[in-house]
Amino acid sequence: MTNKPLVNKRGQTEQEYLRTYDASQFERPSVTVDMLIFTVVDEQEENYRKLSPKSLQILLVKRGEHPFLGQWALPGGFVSPRESLEDAAKRELFTETNIQNIYLEQLYTWGDVGRDPRMRVISTSYMALVDSSTLSLQAGDDADEAEWFRIEDKWLKETKTATENGTVTEKWLELRLVNAKEELSATIKITKTIANRIVQEKREIVDAGNIAFDHAKLIQYALERLRGKIEYTDIAFALMPELFTLSELQQVYEVILGKELLAAAFRRKVADKVLETNQYRKHAGHRPSKYYRFNPEWMEQS
């Protein structure tokens, strides 16, 4: 018995339908990709007896074309019709910053109307945590400069209102991006609504400062996700050398989370993620500290 091809209400097979399909009947938005590249770097420390303090930084490019000419933005650009989102992300990152061969994880898709003054644009963002000491930055394409910026964020205020079916919580956050040349600042409002056990969250930019498009919102969201991922994944070890002390690893966790951690509690938290070695770190002004390495079997055990 032969199967008859399925037909629609107009009696068309799929091949007949596709031959007559009019793609122009729907307005088509443009698609872009934006990359959030984070790193942790050592800051200068005059006291040799202490570990160098670290800072969490993000890579930005200065726009060399309208719109937002001269403002700082995430690396990114338009997806061509014949390439995947991931291929577009890798291509744009390389042409704008000279970075290649890093692992990019898809983060979120942003589709607010009006987020780009040129046209309707939907953007998929990608995130990576990298060792910046292994990278050679070089601005290109429509980017005038490519620079690392230290990230600082703090909550400004919070209000909570009871409703008939739940609560509405509003928080205002200041995002500061700083390097030796420039200081950027943006204010973001996060509204969390709980009604009938349904949770909805909305982010909006109150003041974008000198950060182009809606990228301040993308940065804040990625920072939130990065802090969540460090708790239950091995992402922090992308920044560590083969051998490291637990104090060095704790510093990386602290700078990403934005808070100090109790040493004993931290060691219990990472105990399954690391393997103890018989080697020691020796440095003037320090007591010898035992070296550890990442435990590659941790994910299988968890």
Task: Give catalytic residues, as residue numbers.
Answer: 145
What's the start-to-end Cα distance of the chain, in Å?
Answer: 51
Cβ atoms of residues 301 and 273 within 8 Å: no
Longest dimension (CA), the chain: 85
Taken as a whole, the chain contains a residue count of: 302
- What is the CB-side half-sphere exposure of residue 113 using CA atoms within 13 A? 0
CB atoms within 10 A of CB 263: 11
**What is the chain's Cα-based Rg?**
24
CB within 8 Å of 188: residues ≥ 6 apart: 172, 173, 175, 203, 204, 205, 206, 216, 217, 220
- Is the CA virtual torsion 244, 250, 255, 257 positive or negative? positive
Decide: residue 126, CB within 10 A, 0-12 exposed, 13-18 middle, 19+ buried.
buried
CA-wise closest residue to 176 among 156, 203, 196, 194:
156
Cα distance between residue 103 and residue 168, in whole Å: 37
To 5 degrees, how large is the angle CA 238–CA 242–CA 244? 95
